[in-house]
Structure formats: C-alpha cells, structure tokens
Structure 1
Amino acid sequence: MGEANKSTSTAEEDLLLKTFFAEVSEVERDNEVIRILSCFKLNPFEYLKLPFDATPEEVKRQYRKLSLLVHPDKCKHPQSKEAFAALAKAQQLLLDEQERDYILSQVNAAKEELLAKRKKHLKRDTASKIKSLVEEGKYEQQYESTEEFKQELKLKVREILTEQEWRRRKMQMRISEEEGRLKKDEEETKEMWKKKREHEEQWEGTREQRVSSWRDFMKGGKKAKKGETRPPKLKTEDPNKSYVQRPVKRG
C-alpha cells in the first residue's frame, strides 16, 4: 500500500515538473517573440542578438536556434509567425554580401563618430590622455570592448541607419514624383497629337466638299445654299451711279 502511494506521488511530481518546465519554456518563447518584435527594424543584428562582427556561420547557427524557439508550430504566441518571418529576413540580409557590406559600412561610420567624440573628450581630460599615450592605443581597445561603448555603438547605428533610410525614402519619393510628371507630360503629348491627327483627318474628309464649293464659287453660281443669306441687290436709275432706290410713299 505504501509502495503504491509512493509510486503515485512520484508520478504526480513528475507530471507537475513537466508542466512547470513546459510553462517556463512557453514563457521564454513568448518573451523571445516580444523581444524580436520590439527590435529596431533596420538592424538585422538586433533581431538575431549578434555582435556586428559575427560571421556568416554564426548568423546561420543563431538563426536556427532562435527560429526553433519562436516557430509557429511550437510557440503559442499569437504573433509568433511575424517574429519567425522577421528572423528569416534578418538572416537573409546578413547572408547577402551587398546588404551586409552596407550595414557594416554604417556601423563603421557610427564607430568612427563615437571614437572621434572620445578623442575630443580626452583632449580635455589630461589623466586619460596620458594613460592612453602610455598604453599605446590599448586604452582605446579596452574602451571598445566595454559594455558602455557597445551600447553607445548600438544606439549610434540606429541613428545612422534611420537617417540613411529616411534619405532613401525621400529620394525614392522624388523619383516617383518625377516619373509621375514625365508620365503626365507623355500622356498630354499623346493626347495633343491625337487631337491633331483627328483634326487633319476631319479636314481631309471635307476636301471634296470644299473643292466643290470653291468650283461653284468660281463658276459664279447664283443659287444660294439653304439657309445662306445674300446681300440685297442694288437698284439704279443712272447706270453711271450706284445707289439703292428708296421706296416711294403713296397716298
């Protein structure tokens, strides 16, 4: 009896333990989904939680690890599909040589800006300046390895990428506006030539009528066309004088 109760208790504990780990795992998955969806959209390194010097092999390994964590078939979070797609896009960007080079160029620009700011600060800080001279550059290397510098670099990269994206969108907007203007001009030109052709065709279509009318005019045709108004004829008493004879009142 005691052994049976002990066995039942152990089974319950095992079930409780499995449930506990399942709940913890689910919380971790949900947290990872939330983290991914809150990442800076222009920096794929943030999505994959990788440093800027990560190799393509490290990118692939990290993607496999995180994608399994938030895969829609295993994660119950309602936005797991969006998080999974964001990771896939991040990996694609970092494995594309051209895209990767562009992002790293912005990272280097951010690093140079931060280091220039640091050097300017050292000029005012005599103790730090002396220390950097004594250690022959090791001081700067130590600074780059600190969490403070990494966080500053992360924020500066965000700033630069945002600025570059704004410029790109602004340029794209200008290009679209110019393309729209050129298209409008082209359509107006086509419409103008269309009207001109229609006018020429209409003019050519009345050629016979115009020629016929001209011939009748040259022949001195006396029949007026229907609806045509002719000037009054002149009545004269003296063939050498041309004047209109006024009517004579009678009675």
Structure 2
Amino acid sequence: MSSASSSSKPPAPTSATDAEIDKLLSREASALQREIEVERILKAFKLNPFDILDIDESSSPEEIKKRYKQLSLVIHPDKTPHPRAPEAFDLLKKAESELSDEAKRENIDAIIAQSRALILKSLSLPLTTPHTDPALRRLDPSFKVRMRAQTKELLIEEELRRRKAIKMNLANEGLEARMKDEEIAGKKRKAEDDKVWENNREQRVDSWRTFSKDSKKKKKAKVTLLG
C-alpha cells in the first residue's frame, strides 16, 4: 500500500535541473549584457577612443589591451545576434588601434591635458591639482564628466580643422590640376597653330611673290606714263 502511494508521487526536483536553470539564466543575462555593451559602444563619442573603450584616460598600454580583449570577447559578432555588432566591433578595434599608435596616443593625451588645464583654470585651481583633491571630488557634475565634455569639445574642434585642411588641400590640388590642364591645352593650341602656320608657308610665299610681281608691274607702268 505504502509502496503504491509512494510511486504515485511526482519526483522531487534534482540538482541537475537546478543547474540547468541556473545555466539558462546565466546565458540570458550574458546575452543581455552583450546587447547592452554593443549599444553603449555605438552611442559612444566616436572621436574619443577612451570613451569607446570606457576606460580611464590615464590607462597604460597593457590596461588598454586587456580592456580591448575583454570587450572584444563580449561583443564579437560570432557571440551576439545584435545586427550592429560588426559595426561596434570595428569601432572597438579602431579605438584600440589609435591608442596603440604612439603618435596618435600622444596627440589625444595632449588634448586631454589641455582639457584638464581648461577645467582647472575655470575652477581657479592650480594646474598641479591632483585628482584626489577634495575640491575636485566635491564637484557636481563630477570632474570626470567635465573632462569628457571638455575633451569632446576640443576633439570636435580638431576634427573640424582637419577636415577644413583636407578641403583646402583638395581645392589647391584642384586649382593646380586646372592650371596644369590649361597649360597643356595652351601648348597644344600653340603646337596646332605652328603646324597650320608651317603648312601655309608655301601659300604665303606664293602670295608674296605674286604681290611683289604685281607691285613691280604697277611701278613700271607708272614710270612709263610719266615719260
């Protein structure tokens, strides 16, 4: 009797089932995190590689490479179904590449230093004020937020100057090209004129001979009439 009753009871949840549920939840959370990270990178300020990597501006090359590796594993197009994952991955690679380039890193470091100096000056603080200074820690918006905003402004200004320089160079190159084309066209016209002139030489000589002969006849006739 008791054995029949016990056999009709539903089986108790096993630890294996709990483990599968935990694994499923973990996978869903991981997928959500991947989606969030892709969106964050797409919304990041494209001219600031630190913003794309979401890493502190004072980070060392080793820290940057480590951060890049972490993020690349999270947003890799093979690991997330997000339709714009390839675009985010390209932005991430470009950001890491720029910060790995010594000249580009020096340039953005200089812009960041300029941003810091401008903010400290606006706060009437010495340029040597450390990040840990209470005056900076009490700021609202925070010093980091102000730095990102000021750096963004300077990077935009630099990008506008760069584009203007490119435009001017292209305009100059276009002007030089037009001048060169005009010079070539002028030489071509001169060559054609010289050819026409040369081809008409015999005609001009004949015309001159005829003119000279007629002039002599007229002169002789005039002298005869006078006599």
**Which bin holds the TM-score, normalised by the shorter protein?**
0.7 to 0.9
CA shift, 1:163, in A, is: 1.0
Q: Could you tell me which residue of structure 2 aligns to residue 5 of structure 1?
A: 11
Higher RCO (CA < 8 A, seq sep 6+): 2
Q: C-alpha displacement at 1:49, in angstroms?
A: 1.1
Matches within 5 A, 1:99-138: 99-119=104-124
Aligned residue in 2 for 1:172: 166
In 2, are the aligned partners of 1:110 and 1:153 still within 8 Å (CA)?
A: yes
Aligned pair in 2 of structure 1 residues 107, 187: CA closer, same or farther (>3 Å)? same
Provide the C-alpha distance between the structure 1 equivalents of 2:102 and 2:170, rounded to a whole number of angstroms: 28
Equivalent residue, structure 2, for 1:52: 57
Give the greater-gyration-radius structure (CA).
1
For 1:104 and 1:201, the matched residues in 2 are separated by: 64
CA distance in 1 between partners of 2:57 and 2:131 (Å): 21
What is residue 204 of structure 1 aligned with on the other side? Answer: 198
Q: More displaced, 23-32 or 161-170?
A: 161-170
Following the alignment from structure 1 to structure 2, what is the Cα–Cα distance between the partners of residues 41 and 138?
28
Q: Flag the 1:3–1:107 CA change in 2: closer, same or farther, 3 A.
A: farther
Using the alignment, how far apart are the partners of 2:164 and 2:191 within structure 1? 41
User: How many Å apart are 1:2 and its aligned residue?
Assistant: 8.1
How many residue pairs are counted as aligned between the two chains? 208
Give the unaligned 5+ runs of structure 1. 123-135, 222-238, 241-251
Equivalent pair of 1:45/1:90 in contact (CA under 8 Å): yes
How far apart are 1:175 and its partner, in Å?
A: 1.8
- What value does the CA root-mean-square deviation take over the aligned residues? 2.7
Q: Percent identity?
A: 34
Task: Name the CA shift for 1:197/1:108 in 2 (closer, same or farther; >3 Å).
Answer: same
Which residue identity is paired with 2:182?
E
Q: What does 1:52-201 align with in structure 2 at a 5 Å threshold?
A: 52-119=57-124, 141-144=133-136, 148-201=142-195
Label 1:192 to 1:163 Cα distance change in 2 as closer, same or farther (>3 A). same
| 1:10, distance to aligned residue in structure 2 (A) | 4.4
CA distance in 2, matches of 1:106, 1:169: 18
Range with greater deviation from structure 2 (193-202 or 16-25): 16-25
Which of the pair is proportionally richer in helix?
Answer: 2
Following the alignment from structure 2 to structure 1, what is the Cα–Cα distance between the partners of residues 94 and 53? Answer: 10
Q: Is the 8 A contact 1:29 1:70 kept in 2?
A: yes
2-structure distance, mates of 1:183, 1:161: 32
State the one-letter code of the partner of 1:199: D
Contact 1:144–1:150, Cα closer than 8 Å, also in 2 = no
- Report deviation, 1:28: 0.3
C-alpha displacement at 1:64, in angstroms?
Answer: 0.2
